[in-house]
Structure 1
Amino acid sequence: MTRKKIITYLMLVVGFGVAGYLLYHTFREYSLSDITGSVSEIPAYNLAMALLFALGSYVCLTGFDWAGVRYVRNDLAYPKIGLASFIALSIGQSVGMSGLSSGALRYRYYAHWGMSTEDVAKIVLLSGVTVGIGMAMLSGIVMILNPGDAAGVLRLGELTVRMIGVGCIITVAGYLVLAARLRTPLKVRSWTFEMPTLKIALAQVVIGTLNFALVSACLREVMAANADVSYLKAATAFALANVAILITHAPGGLGVLEATVRHVMGDQASIGSLVAFRAIYFFIPFFIGFPLSLIVEAMFRARKARIGSAAAPEPASA
């Protein structure tokens, strides 16, 4: 076993351990009937709106891949991009190590459609950058507009939190400046990387920020059913939860997201709302994406078999 695999497995073990501890700590005071009762108290309207915001987020996530495909100057049709993105991320965000798991699925699809390993690596890399840009923008906005909640969690002064928020916005602005001005490629072994065009970089900022804004809206919707929760506070809780998820590497943020949101929101984040959010944003897409991946894989294999049989030489006649 290679060192890379050992480190990956260790990170998964630690992630699952942290997730298990935080889930126990968050839910230990509640019975199953308490949890199901809390979920049932959420009105159907709020659940429907949360589903709508989750759908909007997954549409934005396909935009991450669209930007990556255009970055490598490929004209692959959007329906194929959307299919690959949804399957990869609906599974990757639930099983954890999203960069690796979703990257492997993306490679399976994009390679089947004629892309090279280098192109797929660039698509995954640009998608990861879009995640960082979107989270930086959302974090910067909530830290500037709502420093109190972030200061309480981070144990920093409100002025310090605002300065961190300004730094996040400046970082994104710096990325756009580099995209507009820096055209010198970076060579890594046989691969060449360069900054995206300003048009693609602007798309990354818009799509990335909108994605996380929609996820925050989904979270706020399930919490607003039982408490007067402001969108800004829900977005702050979600941004801080993502920072914690990046630090712990918990699979799908399991336990970490719930514990952080609960810490920021207090009693406004009912147990039912946390369970409903995870079901809507993680479990439902997973149970759609996983069987869809099996169907697509079967179609790939059937097509390969047809091509193979068509290319096979006919037996010589007697």
Structure 2
Amino acid sequence: MKRTHILHALVALAVLVAGWLIYRTLNQYSFEDIRNSVAAIPKANFALALAFAACSYLCLTLFDFLALHYVGRPLSYPRAALASFTSLAIGHNVGVAALSSGAVRYRFYTRWGLGTEEIAKLIVFCGVTVGLGLITLAGLCLLLLPGTAGKVAGLGTMASAALGIACLALSALYLLLSAFLRGDVKVRNWRFALPAPRLAAAQIAVGTVNFAFVAACLHQLLSGEAGYMETTAAYVVGNLTALVSHVPGGLGVLEATIGFLLGGAASIGALIAFRVVYFFIPLPLGLVLLLASEALLDPKDATDLRKSAR
């Protein structure tokens, strides 16, 4: 069997898996639940939530754009945005994003001439950007709202402030290392180098703004039940706590966040609406783009790009 046939089969499998996951998730709720939950959100809030979700995905496309410069294979922004949005729209729903979105990225970037090692470095760069954004925004929340953020993490005011300083210190250390540390970090047969200081600073900025937009999306869907900074602190620190405690996929972070903000009476409407806005609406768009790329993109692109890179 030819390699292209195998790749097409994997794409078809990804579409089927994504469809099954949509069914499995939505099967928890009746159509009436979904309709009533979305209808209960004021139209202005729902529109703003969609806008903030779009801004988050826009930030995520910049992750790939920056990563392509990091690996020394810059592509045009539209190509980076196509690969990023398609892979993450699917990966956010399938789970194990590093693998699921990584597989879709691999499909796009091999077509455009990148090698396996370059794609691996790109994926690591994007993962580090996510971590830096989460740590930086969590650090700010822990310092600015030690009461709210500290309660989410189960910490007192002093411990919350100390953790916030530690989070910001990690981001600052990353910047310093990028400025002064030279040479590669070797992992088996692959070598990874820290990015240039300007790229490192861009990682922190874009990663932080991304999570700020996600929190803004959730805040709008809570329809004024909690303030923006409270929502941001609860959501971001909840994610950080899940990361530190090794909870698979941050399981229950959204439920715990809303439960905390609403005093334990978690709003099923906000939960469903957030999943619709941030996960379910992008998924079919990602699947359509993936299928369209399989049908329309020229497989000779990779050959042409490899020749131009020599």
Shift of 1:38: 3.9
Q: TM-score if structure 1 supplies the norm length?
A: 0.80
CA distance in 2, matches of 1:144, 1:111: 43
The aligned counterpart of 1:315 is: none
Shift of 1:258: 3.1
CA RMSD in angstroms, aligned pairs only: 2.7
CA distance in 2, matches of 1:249, 1:90: 19
Q: Contact (CA 8 Å) 1:240, 1:260: kept in 2 or not?
A: no
Matched ranges for 1:296-315 at <5 A:
296-300=293-297, 303-304=298-299
CA distance in 1, matches of 2:45, 2:99: 34
CA distance in 2, matches of 1:266, 1:121: 41
CA distance in 1, matches of 2:204, 2:241: 22
The aligned counterpart of 1:173 is: 172
Specify which of 282, 287, 299 is matched with residue 285 of structure 1.
282
User: For 2:194, what is the secondary structure of its paired residue?
Assistant: coil
Is residue 41 of structure 1 aligned with residue 40 of structure 2?
Answer: yes
Which amino acid in structure 2 is aligned with residue 186 of structure 1? V
Alignment deviations for residues 98-144 of structure 1 (CA, whole Å, 9 cap, x no partner): 01111111111111100011100000000000000000011001111
Shift of 1:193: 1.3
Q: Contact (CA 8 Å) 1:138, 1:239: kept in 2 or not?
A: yes
Q: Contact (CA 8 Å) 1:244, 1:256: kept in 2 or not?
A: no
Alignment deviations for residues 48-98 of structure 1 (CA, whole Å, 9 cap, x no partner): 101000000001001111111000111211110000000001110111000
CA distance in 1, matches of 2:229, 2:299: 50
Matched ranges for 1:22-171 at <5 A:
33=32, 36-171=35-170
The structure with higher relative contact order (CA 8 Å, sep 6+) is 1
Q: Which runs of 4 or more aligned residues in structure 1 lie more than 6 Å from their structure 2 counterparts after TM superposition?
A: none
Q: Contact (CA 8 Å) 1:39, 1:276: kept in 2 or not?
A: yes
Shift of 1:150: 2.6
Which amino acid in structure 1 is aligned with residue 269 of structure 2? G
The aligned counterpart of 2:261 is: 265
User: For 2:281, what is the secondary structure of its paired residue?
Assistant: helix
Q: Whose radius of gyration is greater, 1 or 2?
A: 1
User: For 1:105, what is the secondary structure of its paired residue?
Assistant: helix
Specify which of 230, 251, 256 is matched with residue 227 of structure 2.
230
Q: Contact (CA 8 Å) 2:132, 2:204: kept in 1 or not?
A: yes
CA distance in 1, matches of 2:301, 2:237: 50
Shift of 1:244: 5.2
Q: 1:31 to 1:289 in 2, by over 3 A?
A: closer
Shift of 1:257: 3.0
Q: TM-score if structure 2 supplies the norm length?
A: 0.82
Percent of paired sites with the same residue = 42
Unaligned runs of 5+ in 2: 1-20, 303-310
Aligned residues: 278
CA distance in 2, matches of 1:31, 1:88: 28
Unaligned runs of 5+ in 1: 1-15, 308-318
Is residue 221 of structure 1 aligned with residue 220 of structure 2?
Answer: yes
